[in-house]
Structure 1
């Protein structure tokens, strides 16, 4: 029996299918759909199923099935990556997204099974939400980590309302937003008083976000002007090196155009200009090609640059890197991607196949470039921007740059979800975030997460703009994920007096 005394009308395979479907529909809450009511209804269905389960094992199974549907739908775009090499990996098309979901589903099974330790009502909701949050945070320990699509990202609505909704991340991070979403989505169904309380808290949350967004003042830092190049080179051409010369010339042309446009901006006076090529922008090993570096420098016309390219250290190690180039094309430094994509850039030892060519080596870690012209830049490559609390090195930068190649995922939810993580990092760290993507979406967010410039997906072009100034360090930037962890633990402790009297 569930809390309302009603028995669920489904059993057996019908219930299993309904749970899978409910999980899949709930994923519509993620960017770019933002269907928060569907997420709330889906979570309610899982919660009622867990309450109605005959044993904790059945409750865990229900959570697993819901998580399987939830993550398969949320990661459906992984199939697009397989299609780029369909002749080699056609067999993986039906299992790419479900395979990842199969690994992630146990993180949903845990709160579904263990919430039954608390009595029905608000204590059980607290336990469910706290356990879900801690389990979700634990995904960073899975292989190299896979914290994609935290439920807190459902608040990243486009426009000003979304800007206000995500401001509390400056204190509690996206994991704290996940806890708030879990509580709100379930407490709203606990009766009229709780529904009214949720509505009042939502209003206060929005007001707090609006107040912070309007009241914060940037530091007196003059960040550079950027010329972000978006070549829109297909992933097939990148993988096969087909027409590499044409792609290289395209980026040279975009660089020359972008630098000229950047210098002509009204606010460019007295600021340095930084041109940027995305991940895989250079079709080769830039550190081994002096002629190419001179050609890039000539196109940059005295500006400094960041160029995405593979790097060969000459000792059999290959890196996915971002190169800092001086005005004459000299390599000032190379940042090697330190967090690699599981099943993509490396395969765990127990997996016999790899879905991309080559073997990549992780770099030593995050860093900050303080070379003349870069004005304290924190470089990242693609996947690394999804890690809350782990995007800043030992020295706090003035701005963050993420270069990426989302051509793998086509015109799907993947690039939109990836961009949403960059927006959230801006709020958490109080730093402007610039994302340069080969096929898009290329964008600039200020230190409150407000969009200031954007180049749509699938378009060749250049985005030029002044990088906004940073804010003072946020509470989250100083304390990191310890805050949402303690909040989730606090919810569990509030339910604790009942736990010692309960049995599964």
Structure 2
């Protein structure tokens, strides 16, 4: 039975981006749900759920092996354990709905309790280390094209976690007989109509955002380890910047032009290298830009940063990445030995820059974009700019799953989002999550487009994760009450 748990858990991940075969998750959910009654007790239920979760998260995070292989000479020993090791930490979260749902009799109440407790457990992943809410269940609805655009629109109200609740509840309800399937079909029709209406009636603010040139250099990590390789990478980014800025000026002569380099796009310490900044300013021909670079403070601590350069190459603002990747950029304190050759220091928190040419922009670095409800500072920006270096992930599901979070944040916040990635995928989304353009994996080029205006603030952008949390808590209270009443009727 353990093998079946692992295999069905792994099969269920076909519902996640980039495949988005949602029926695979419905099959997995049915299997878990049946375990509640078929298992002999809580211990057996927990074992089934744990090994299901182990298979699920190992398959979903299999791309982590690519990150290890980029430095296999240092971390060869971690190759076979990277994905299973993370899955061991995450698997207990899938035990929660199986154990909790067993508290009420089978039926609609149990399904609702299962869906709500699944969602609450999914949301709780933000409390592991610096948080690891990768692949939230609601991301299964991010189908490519118009279908996905329509399905994810409720995220503006209930966030990706609220979508996850609906996916799980509908995924169980569809197995509950003919009437339930009719109810699911009617619910999907109403969902689709609401999503279409929201797409067709965008309530946009009168904001003119800049024309951007997103630069993708397609530089492998190994290619910048030497001085010669770093110089060649820098020259390539200068050339792509000059080409991108020229095209942006041609396409939108009446707009401010901004260029955007990816995370660690500059292979050094940009704020300490005046000569490099002058060369960048010359290539940018009077445009402002945002560049990913490491930074060192007076105490010798290092930060993963994004810097705003003006037309003369002067650093006008610096944002230090505030949420670091566990085991990638910092090491949790409970580990008694050194795993990382160098650890980074977290920044002070999210910011909104209001600068000439850039306008009002929220700068973000890579991992930070995956945190639903936590992507803007105290002041709401007019657009979000995320930089990343997904070269670590390889040409795998990893960059596609990361890009799915970018799309979802656009819907939740009602803000256009652009992403510049070193090897891919560089892309842009409007404030409804519709993809405007992209550069595929492995293509050095510049992507030039006009950043569209933001929508009026969404409910989710105002209230955040309190919305899906409240939804789930109400469902828990109602289903527990109904379940207790039904149990009393059965026993009485």
Task: With the length of structure 2 as denominator, give the TM-score of the two structures.
Answer: 0.97
Partner of 1:166: 152
Residue 493 of structure 1 deviates from its aligned partner by 1.1
Partner of 1:271: 255
Using the TM superposition, name which of 393-402 and 485-494 deviates more. Answer: 485-494
C-alpha contact 2:307 2:318 (8 A) present in aligned 1: yes
**Matches of 1:241 and 1:102, distance apart in 2:** 40
Partner of 1:362: 346
Residue 314 of structure 1 deviates from its aligned partner by 2.5
**Matches of 2:114 and 2:21, distance apart in 1:** 21
C-alpha contact 1:346 1:354 (8 A) present in aligned 2: no
C-alpha contact 1:67 1:101 (8 A) present in aligned 2: yes
Does residue 386 of the first structure (1) align with residue 360 of the second (2)?
no
After superposition, what is the alpha-carbon deviation per residue over 1:274-315, rounded to whole angstroms, capped at 9, x for unaligned? 011100100011111111111111111000000000000131
C-alpha contact 2:352 2:381 (8 A) present in aligned 1: yes
C-alpha contact 1:27 1:70 (8 A) present in aligned 2: yes
Unaligned 5+ residue runs, structure 2?
Answer: none
Partner of 2:418: 434
Partner of 1:229: 215
Partner of 2:16: 30
Partner of 1:203: 189
Does residue 65 of the first structure (1) align with residue 47 of the second (2)?
no
C-alpha contact 1:230 1:461 (8 A) present in aligned 2: yes
Partner of 2:26: 40
1:336 to 320, 324, 333: 320
Change (3 A) 1:239 1:419: farther
Does residue 454 of the first structure (1) align with residue 452 of the second (2)?
no
Partner of 1:309: 293
After superposition, what is the alpha-carbon deviation per residue over 1:127-163, rounded to whole angstroms, capped at 9, x for unaligned? 1100000010000111000000001001011101110
Unaligned 5+ residue runs, structure 1?
Answer: 1-14
Task: With the length of structure 1 as denominator, give the TM-score of the two structures.
Answer: 0.95
Count of aligned pairs: 487
Using the TM superposition, name which of 196-205 and 167-176 deviates more. Answer: 196-205
Does residue 417 of the first structure (1) align with residue 364 of the second (2)?
no
The DSSP-based 3-state class of the residue aligned with 1:292 is helix
Q: Considering only aligned residues, what root-mean-square deviation do their CA atoms show, in Å?
A: 1.3
The DSSP-based 3-state class of the residue aligned with 1:370 is strand
Partner of 2:243: 257
**Matches of 2:38 and 2:209, distance apart in 1:** 57
Partner of 1:127: 113
C-alpha contact 1:340 1:383 (8 A) present in aligned 2: yes
Residue 353 of structure 1 deviates from its aligned partner by 5.6
Does residue 403 of the first structure (1) align with residue 387 of the second (2)?
yes
After superposition, what is the alpha-carbon deviation per residue over 1:212-271, rounded to whole angstroms, capped at 9, x for unaligned? 110123111100000111000002234566610000111011111110010010xx1321
Change (3 A) 1:469 1:245: same
The DSSP-based 3-state class of the residue aligned with 1:264 is helix
Partner of 1:8: none
**Matches of 1:428 and 1:239, distance apart in 2:** 39
C-alpha contact 2:104 2:484 (8 A) present in aligned 1: no
**Matches of 2:322 and 2:224, distance apart in 1:** 22
C-alpha contact 1:59 1:112 (8 A) present in aligned 2: yes
**Matches of 1:189 and 1:448, distance apart in 2:** 32
C-alpha contact 2:52 2:91 (8 A) present in aligned 1: yes
Change (3 A) 1:66 1:432: same
**Matches of 1:148 and 1:254, distance apart in 2:** 32
Partner of 2:457: 473
Partner of 1:3: none
**Matches of 1:445 and 1:241, distance apart in 2:** 36
